[in-house]
């Protein structure tokens, strides 16, 4: 699963005395959710929380060991709108690249837990001034380390602008996944990204408030049949333990029931019913993430 969060807390939550991140609850919930998905064959998840999200490499390590699921930690930076700390804003592109490279080669936040992927994000339709710096820095880090890049997009066509910037920066698009493309139902949009060589993340499977289950199933099926399934990735963007108001959503009952298993218990059986080739599905879940993450 290329885009999940084993736990999450809004940047800056520590400022509020009412917000307490409960380590033991986070570990317990994350481990039980990952174990449940492991029954369906889950071996590896990417934890897609970059700077400035609450990153706890010590907990990622514990959760991975206790659940027996590999967790790929992220370096990279989130959207400008969600608050670039002033320190980061003052760094040059080269310095940000060195920060990413350090986290990949040495470890995150002085730990020995290395990042295995770069996660980037752009907020609106335009790529912001700082978001642009992060993309150029990520491409330097990608060239130096060979790691893949995954992204977060918000505007239904934001992926195009992201891709323009990746191309301008000279990224290896075979190892870039434009994420949250399933915020949109527009197959032309999905294919326009795939045609340029990047991969397409249908990584909000189960978020039915954004797109109904039925529409998402149709979109996923159409993309598979478009002939670009070798550039497709599936994931939930599910948070097993979320700290803060942000995580009080109307979809809570759904996520409590499914966690990281919705894809395996609902989406994949429905695709099979529609006669989507099983070997294609295997390839989407195994070969495609291996290409993005491997190297």
Residues that bind Zn ion (CB under 5 A): 48, 237
For residue 166, the 8-state DSSP code is H
Shortest distance (Å) from residue 123 CB to Zn ion: 14
Shortest distance (Å) from residue 120 CB to Zn ion: 12
Separation between Cα atoms, residue 93 and residue 80, nearest integer Å: 15
Q: Which run of H or E residues covers position 25?
A: helix 23-38
Q: At 149, give phi and psi (nearest 5°).
A: -125, 130
- Comparison of 140 and 159: residue with beta carbon closer to Zn ion: 159
Separation between Cα atoms, residue 278 and residue 68, nearest integer Å: 26
Separation between Cα atoms, residue 5 and residue 239, nearest integer Å: 5
- Comparison of 74 and 229: residue with beta carbon closer to Zn ion: 74
- Comparison of 48 and 118: residue with beta carbon closer to Zn ion: 48
Q: What angle do CA 266, 226, 236 make, to 5 degrees?
A: 30
3-state class (DSSP) for residue 148: strand
Separation between Cα atoms, residue 44 and residue 29, nearest integer Å: 17
- Comparison of 57 and 201: residue with beta carbon closer to Zn ion: 201
CB-CB contact of 194 with 245 (8 Å): no
Shortest distance (Å) from residue 117 CB to Zn ion: 12
- Comparison of 125 and 246: residue with beta carbon closer to Zn ion: 246
- Comparison of 182 and 237: residue with beta carbon closer to Zn ion: 237
Shortest distance (Å) from residue 66 CB to Zn ion: 22
CB-based contacts of 53, cutoff 8 Å, min separation 6: 8, 9, 10, 11, 78
Shortest distance (Å) from residue 1 CB to Zn ion: 11
- Comparison of 176 and 276: residue with beta carbon closer to Zn ion: 176
Shortest distance (Å) from residue 51 CB to Zn ion: 14
- Comparison of 1 and 99: residue with beta carbon closer to Zn ion: 1
Shortest distance (Å) from residue 151 CB to Zn ion: 10
By beta carbon distance, the residue nearest Zn ion is: 237
Go through 192-217 and write b for each residue having 16 or more CB atoms within 10 A of its CB, e for each that does not. ebbebbbbbbbbbbbbbeebebeebb
Shortest distance (Å) from residue 256 CB to Zn ion: 18
Lookup: tokens for 87: 């320190």
CB-based contacts of 153, cutoff 8 Å, min separation 6: 121, 122, 159, 162, 178, 179, 180, 181, 183
Q: What angle do CA 24, 234, 35 make, to 5 degrees?
A: 30
């Amino acid at each position: 699963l290329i885009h999940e969060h084993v736990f999450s807390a809004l940047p800056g939550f520590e400022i509020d005395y009412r917000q307490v991140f409960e380590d033991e609850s986070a570990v317990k919930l994350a481990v039980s959710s990952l174990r449940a998905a492991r029954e369906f064959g889950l071996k590896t998840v990417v934890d897609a929380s970059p700077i400035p999200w609450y990153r706890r490499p010590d907990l990622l390590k514990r959760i991975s060991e206790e659940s027996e699921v590999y967790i790929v930690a992220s370096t990279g930076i989130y959207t400008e709108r969600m608050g670039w700390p002033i320190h980061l804003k003052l760094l040059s592109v080269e310095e940000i690249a060195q920060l990413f490279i350090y986290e990949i080669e040495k470890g995150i936040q002085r730990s020995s837990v290395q990042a295995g992927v770069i996660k980037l994000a752009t907020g609106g339709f335009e790529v912001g001034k700082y978001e642009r710096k992060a993309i150029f820095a990520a491409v330097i880090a990608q060239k130096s380390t060979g790691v893949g890049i995954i992204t977060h997009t918000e505007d239904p066509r934001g992926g195009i602008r992201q891709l323009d910037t990746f191309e301008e920066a000279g990224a290896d698009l075979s190892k870039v996944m434009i994420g949250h493309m399933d915020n949109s139902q527009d197959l032309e949009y999905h294919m326009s990204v795939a045609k340029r060589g990047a991969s397409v993340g249908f990584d909000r499977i189960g978020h039915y408030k954004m797109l109904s289950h039925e529409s998402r199933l149709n979109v996923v099926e159409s993309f598979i049949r478009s002939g670009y399934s070798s550039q497709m990735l599936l994931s939930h963007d599910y948070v097993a333990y979320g700290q803060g108001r942000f995580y009080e959503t109307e979809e809570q009952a759904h996520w409590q029931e499914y966690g990281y298993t919705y894809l395996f218990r609902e989406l994949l059986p429905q695709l099979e019913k529609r006669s989507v080739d099983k070997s294609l599905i295997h390839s989407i879940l195994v070969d495609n993430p291996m290409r993005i993450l491997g190297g």
